[in-house]
Structure 1
Amino acid sequence: MQALKMQQKKAAGGPAAPARLSIKHEGEAFPLENMTLTMEKHPNEHTKVRLRGIASEETVLKLMRSASMNADIELFYENSESNRKIFHGIIIHMDAEAQGIEAGAVHYLTIEALSHTYLMDIVTKQRSFQNMNMTYEQLIKEVLEDYPKSDFLHYGTAGDTLNGITLQYQETDWSFIKRMASRLYIPLIAHSTFNSPKFVLGVEENTAIYRLESANEKVFKNVEAFRSHANNHLASVQESDYLVYEITITGEHAKWLELGEPVLYRERTHYVLSVVTTVKNHLLSHTYQLSRLNGFFTPPKFNEAIAGLTLQGSVIKVSRNVLKVHLDIDPSQSENSAYWLKYSTFYATWYCMPETGDRVNVHFPTKDESDALVINSIKHSSSGGASRVQSTAGTGNASSATSISAVSATQAAPSIQAASTGGASAASKPNFEFSSLAEDNKVKMIVTEGGKMIILDDNSSSVSIVCNDSTFIRITDGSGISISTDMDITFESGADISFTAEEMIYMKATDKIALQCGESQMEITPEEIKIKSTDIKLNT
């Protein structure tokens, strides 16, 4: 009981005593006199330190010249009980000011520094995480592979998975992880006494050890935040969770508390929501903001740069109306872990999926990357169906094809010879070479991976359906409809087949023309005409 009372007395603050601060720069002691210190700690932010003190001109010049891009600085606080490291970070700004006559000028040096988590907040990156079964813990571990000796603790919901495609776009790793943590409604808390990036996700619910008492107290309530969180995020928060106490304790033995640490205040467990530590006129002071655990509730954050973004990639797998894409921003993409993206078709009844290997545009219509979809395919003459069309439809011999031609009524066909000439002309081989057609803006095409084509050509006023090099159907304004193939042509109907012409129906064969109806037959060969029937009538 006596020990607990002593702890309470120390936490509440003892008599004012000089604070003894010391500095190390790149591991070496750095002389700075009459120091003032401000150190701030807030959720989702790097620990920030601002130092100001008196140094010799030689010391100032040496520091300015030797400080590297990632200049290291350590701060220590010493009292009668211990020498405590209170900060280890990276210098981000320095300035010096001389006051007085040159010979006796006093040089004031100001240093600003951030915790080592700042190293994660410098370079912006672009990449995707498509494995929907990846946990947030696994994602963060992958991100931290770029930072030696980095580490983190996770007090969020263990095992939570991405459940969709996740995109890091023009974001630093710190901003990205902060956004991921907000999906779990928890903040990041930077650690500030290590020589590498270390942080905590969330706040651990725990039993208070220290009792805080202070005569200097402020109370405020963030009603706006409570209403927003309760109404927009279905958060199980109460109005009392947004009641914040701000207390200030001073003295040599004032308790050093970290963000998220539980304390007993007003007979209830509260958690440290923010810390501002100052040393001024040799007096140490801590200002703590205390709230209930739900006061750390963090609403989901979004990357506004994603809204309206379109990224290119290559199709690696297709299934029905969804496909997997290797985005260009990723050096590699496993097919098994890639996310199935929806393909946006022109209409609900239109189905025309890209093929494996096709280049596509992946569109992110909103700031939520889970809304991503593939909006169109980018056809290149060296990929997909294009290469197959060139190889199968680019050559052939139309003269060897069997053809059936329908000649329009506007074309005069007074004789068999004229009809024969017209039919041969209609069946002549058009140009179906993809590379040349693709360069003409008056030609529209639908092309499959296997080389099947539908061609709408304004130059020839034609519509062509191409199956392969020697099989096609062509409809033109001037010469009607032609069917060309070196295979059989079969007309089959469960009812009637009717041929009607205003002037003539023309049929031509090299070997034989045969007609059959029941038992009656007629065969025409180059040598003879055979007619077979039970009853033959001529000129009746």
Structure 2
Amino acid sequence: MELRINQYLVTNIEIPLSKVIGLTAKWEVNEHGCLRLKGEIPYEAALKSPNQLFLKSPIELKMNWQGEEKVLFNGLVKNYEITFEGRSAQICVEGITATWKLDIERKKRSFQDTEMTYADISKEIAVKQGANLIITCGNSMKILKPLIQYMETDWEFVKRIASHLGKSVISDLLTGKPAFWLGMRQGIEIPIFFKNSYEMMIELESSQQSYIVKSKEVYQIGDKTVFQGKTLVIYKRIIEFDRGEMLFTYTLSEESAIRQNVIYNEDLTGRELYGIVEQVVGENVAVQLEIDGDEKNGAYLYPWRPETGNMMYAMPEKGSPVLLTMPSYDEREAVVKVCLHRDGAESNYGKHYQNRIMQTSDSAKIKLYPCILEMSKKENKLVLEDEAGIYIGSGKKIEIEAKEKVRLKAERIDLKASDEIKGIIG
């Protein structure tokens, strides 16, 4: 359904709007393009609109300017909310670019072929997602060491890849399809559209100097202009429509200053990934990681650094189950430290290799699960569980002794005894 907002603006949306009151749209590097539209909807239509009816439906905003039609936003409806007041209804619609489709499912996989470039990995991800990709950096830069996508969406991982090059990713908001740039979009040369009216901003951490300019002209991220002898690039655009007025706010900087610091996956710190040794060369081993399934992702030789140190150890054999350990948030520092016993590896690790159980001959036991820590010996048990809280149990007496105060704080505390409960002070 096409709705004319004013003499310049038109929106195409399946929601039966009767009027657009206001809107804002934001487009910047490393983020999905987004649109927030507020309008009126016929009362009867609002009553007949189930909450989920228009989710993921297309939404487009176009502008006719100086005889040319320009797309300002083309994406999907991410969310909307209808409010009623008497016999009238208003709706607030949130739109997002189709790159959102790359930001839904979290995945685990490795890229161990060190001959791949950063562009190669981005292409592989885009092809599997059915997304279009324009590459402006990373074509000749090899990854050198394996990269691991761990519980990250494709969008998060591609942003992390780009940050290794000091670059960003840019979502496409013109086609309505999942498409993005790896690196800065190659825009056009535009005339200087500000001279005396602008704000200057300096970031303390990076010392990046940016110019913030308000204009009625339509430009895109990546468009360039020259000001005071500097070539400035647009890297952020905000559109505002209020009370019939349309205004664009642009943020520009020199491209060399629009540098992205390296992004790390903090969840990798201390992580151990289960795998099978495929090859042994000297004191290094190639590992087929479980997260990759049957897909072969190269044969990178990880250093073997056993927990016992280098005084006395044996190299794992081909076919041995091992753990690839991440000592930090940078997976490029990964080493193989643990070789598991073949018989117990599948039961203790396998698909649930994070669920560890250690038991001694005298029935002392420690369970280490992602959400539970349990320590027990015979009738005594201590359980720390994320959802349930803390449980302390014993078949004998439990004593709490302290030199200072003992404090128990909760919404409810129950003390139960079959004979008596005594409190001793002093």
Which bin holds the TM-score, normalised by the shorter protein?
Answer: 0.7 to 0.9
Structure-1 separation of matches of 2:170 and 2:55:
24
Structure-2 separation of matches of 1:263 and 1:89:
28
2:124 is the alignment partner of 1:142: yes
| Aligned-residue offset at 1:50 | 0.3
Equivalent residue for 1:168?
A: 149
Please give the per-residue CA displacement for 1:302-342, whole angstroms capped at 9, x wherever unaligned.
Answer: 0000010011111111112111111111122438x221111
The aligned runs of 1:275-354 (5 Å cut-off) are: 275-334=237-296, 337-345=298-306, 346-354=308-316
Equivalent residue for 1:152?
A: 133
The aligned runs of 1:103-502 (5 Å cut-off) are: 105-148=87-130, 150-203=131-184, 208-213=189-194, 216-226=197-207, 242-249=208-215, 254-266=216-228, 268-334=230-296, 337-345=298-306, 346-381=308-343
- CA, structure 1 residues 294+19, in 2 after alignment: closer, same or farther (shift >3 Å)? farther
State the SS of the aligned residue for 2:299.
coil
Match of 1:21 among 2, 6, 9: 9
2:13 is the alignment partner of 1:51: no
More off after superposition, 263-272 vs 318-327: 263-272
Structure-2 separation of matches of 1:256 and 1:63:
34
Please give the per-residue CA displacement for 1:467-513, whole angstroms capped at 9, x wherever unaligned.
Answer: xxxxxxxxxxxxxxxxxxxxxxxxxxxxxxxxxxxxxxxxxxxxxxx
Q: Which runs of 5+ in 1 are unaligned?
A: 1-16, 227-241, 385-438, 443-540
Give me the CA root mean square deviation.
2.6
Bigger helix fraction: 1
- CA, structure 1 residues 117+330, in 2 after alignment: closer, same or farther (shift >3 Å)? same
Amino acid at match of 1:136: Y
| Aligned-residue offset at 1:147 | 2.2
Compute the TM-score of the two structures, normalised by the length of structure 2: 0.75
Amino acid at match of 1:277: I
Q: Which runs of 5+ in 2 are unaligned?
A: 347-358, 363-426
Please give the per-residue CA displacement for 1:416-454, whole angstroms capped at 9, x wherever unaligned.
Answer: xxxxxxxxxxxxxxxxxxxxxxx9969xxxxxxxxxxxx
| Aligned-residue offset at 1:301 | 0.6
Equivalent residue for 1:448?
A: none
Amino acid at match of 1:124: R
For the pair shown, the structure with the greater C-alpha radius of gyration is 1
More off after superposition, 58-67 vs 306-315: 58-67
| Aligned-residue offset at 1:275 | 0.7
2:61 is the alignment partner of 1:75: yes
Structure-2 separation of matches of 1:131 and 1:213:
48
More off after superposition, 172-181 vs 30-39: 30-39
| Aligned-residue offset at 1:77 | 2.2
State the SS of the aligned residue for 1:381.
helix
Structure-2 separation of matches of 1:376 and 1:67:
52
- CA, structure 1 residues 35+266, in 2 after alignment: closer, same or farther (shift >3 Å)? farther
Structure-2 separation of matches of 1:195 and 1:352:
56
State the SS of the aligned residue for 1:210.
coil
Structure-1 separation of matches of 2:61 and 2:226:
29
Q: Does the 8 A contact of 2:17 with 2:39 survive in 1?
A: no
Please give the per-residue CA displacement for 1:280-312, whole angstroms capped at 9, x wherever unaligned.
Answer: 111110011111112211111100000100111
| Aligned-residue offset at 1:19 | 5.3
| Aligned-residue offset at 1:86 | 1.8
| Aligned-residue offset at 1:353 | 1.0
| Aligned-residue offset at 1:223 | 2.9
Amino acid at match of 1:43: V
Q: Does the 8 A contact of 2:25 with 2:33 survive in 1?
A: yes
Amino acid at match of 2:145: G
| Aligned-residue offset at 1:69 | 4.7
- CA, structure 1 residues 90+206, in 2 after alignment: closer, same or farther (shift >3 Å)? closer
- CA, structure 1 residues 243+383, in 2 after alignment: closer, same or farther (shift >3 Å)? closer
State the SS of the aligned residue for 2:100.
helix
| Aligned-residue offset at 1:62 | 4.6
| Aligned-residue offset at 1:46 | 0.6
Please give the per-residue CA displacement for 1:163-183, whole angstroms capped at 9, x wherever unaligned.
Answer: 111100010100000000000
Structure-1 separation of matches of 2:89 and 2:241:
19
Q: Does the 8 A contact of 2:119 with 2:138 survive in 1?
A: no
2:17 is the alignment partner of 1:31: yes
Percentage of identical aligned residues: 24
Structure-2 separation of matches of 1:40 and 1:440:
59
| Aligned-residue offset at 1:89 | 1.1
- How many residues in Structure 1 have an aligned counterpart in Structure 2? 345
- CA, structure 1 residues 215+56, in 2 after alignment: closer, same or farther (shift >3 Å)? farther
